Amino acid sequence: MVKAVIFDIDGTLVDTVDMHAEAWQRAFREFGKEIEFQTIRDQVGKGGDQLMPVFLSKEELGDFGKQLEKRRGEIYQQDYMPKAKPFPQVRELFERIKSDGKQIALASSAPEKELEFYKKLLNISDLLEEETSADDAERSKPEPDIFQAAVDKLQGIEPADCIVIGDTPYDATAAGKAGIITVGVLCGGFPEQWLRDAGCIEIYRDPADLLARYGDSAIASSGVSKPQVV
């Protein structure tokens, strides 16, 4: 029986993946690295500690990695975050889950400032049991730290009691390492096959589609299978 649902935020609840990719691209450019937009976009969903090594050498990471990541955050929060839009029916989905007697947590690689902004934008603060941000994890997705931290905060909950909802293969990989199954959504723009290959057991278009088919979903089911730990 599913007792708790843990949600990723960017690309899952809010339409921000392209904006994050643009902010990273601009930050890389300021440090002399011209990187194709789609190449960066394919990595969004990872935190900076996992994303930057894809594009920077160890020497570059040591020389300016921290400054680049800080600059990326400044660009995003100043120029993009105010433009973020929620996907439809997020609050209604959360209300449905709560009415089903399940706990809800947020688990994001975003910093605390962004997390607070999104909670207000989505109008969901009163429906949450717990939340985790970049401050709660040593390593970001696709490592399991964020989801493990969320489970640890939830009262009386084990990984096998949970489902993660996410839009990237990095969500599914991280959840699988933590022993949690994942339901994928396509609204973040990642290919369905990528999500399935990473371990998603079900795929929905977006939160509204999940709400519309909630009764048939793994969240409502009492017999979901345990994921294979990667």
Is 60 exceeded by the pLDDT of residue 230? no
**pLDDT tens per residue across span 144-203:** 999 999 999 998 999 999 999 999 999 999 999 999 999 999 999 999 999 999 999 999
Task: Return the amino acid letter for 180.
Answer: I
Handedness of CA 191, 192, 197, 203 (dihedral sign): positive
Give the dihedral of Cα atoms 182, 185, 189, 190; nearest 10 deg. 30
Please give the pLDDT value at position 222: 56
pTM, two decimal places:
0.94
Which of 6, 4, 9 shows the shortest CA–CA distance to 119? 9
What's the Cα-to-Cα distance from 82 to each of 36, 116, 130, rounded to whole Å?
24, 13, 24
Please give the pLDDT value at position 227: 44
Q: Decide: 181 and 175 in contact? Cβ < 8 Å.
A: yes
Average pLDDT of span 114-136: 95
